[in-house]
Amino acid sequence: MNMLLNPSWSLQVTPEEIEPVASRYAPAPTQFANGYSLLKERLFPGAKVLEFGCGPGDLAIWIARKGMNVVAFDADLNQEKMMQKIQPHEHLALELRRGKFWELEWPDGEYDIIVAQAWLHHLTDDFPSYAAKFRRMLKPGGCLLFINEPLSHNPFFEMIRAIRATQAQWLDESGLYLGALKDFGREFGEVQVYTHHLFSFLIKLIAKGSGGWKLALEGAEQKLIRRWPQWAKYCANMNVMFVRT
């Protein structure tokens, strides 16, 4: 297994394009620009994509509108609300699935891409089983992409998260470390980790929207991290891609 920390990436989306898709999360322009760019770069005509834990379904619909075959899964999926977001004239290749992940049938080698937002840190209770299952579901060369995940090496950021998790009574919140990513990634040929929000973490917490100035500011921060890569693990957030060989 090869692990790459902050490999180069190209911007494939605009802040305006992804703002509606990421609106339920705290503003994080560079992180979501990176995550959706990585996803968009992997899309191709006829690709089959699964969104794991799709929530209200905005990302699944965004992918389907690009011509992909999409399965949107969530244990609490609200099909009626999700379908209200689709225009009557739209004919999307979109399948909705609700239920317990382990109890549903998931064929092996079915998907080119599996994507999830803010979900990897909820799976730490059984990393080996989830990693093996996701790998089997992917086609050879397919990828598993987690967008908007916490990185827990920075004690200051972890303190803030612990306070927020206690106030909101999030019972299954777990920190993620680079070592844990290596453990999860043993099922895959390559792991790519893209870290975000070092100095800009507080701006992410207090500022609304995702204007171009934030993208520029966080882009400058990314250059600093590439210059001093030892700072990367102290960032607050990350996107992680696992590639099946």
Q: CB atoms < 10 A from the CB of 76, how many?
A: 8
* CATH number of the domain within which 237 lies: 3.40.50.150
| Residue 170: predicted pLDDT | 57
pLDDT in tens, 141-160: 999 999 999 999 988 888 87
Check if the beta carbon of residue 48 is closer than 8 Å to that of residue 114. Answer: no
Number of domains in the chain: 1
Q: CB atoms < 10 A from the CB of 70, how many?
A: 27
Which domain, by its residues, includes 124? 2-243
Is this structure's pTM higher than 0.85?
yes
Tokens of 156: 């200051």
| Residue 212: predicted pLDDT | 64
| Residue 205: predicted pLDDT | 61
| Residue 174: predicted pLDDT | 73
Tokens of 201: 């973490």
pLDDT mean by block of 10 residues, the chain; 245 residues: 92 86 72 94 96 94 96 94 89 94 95 96 92 98 96 85 64 80 95 90 62 72 87 93 96
| Residue 206: predicted pLDDT | 60
Question: Which amino acid belongs to residue 98?
Answer: R
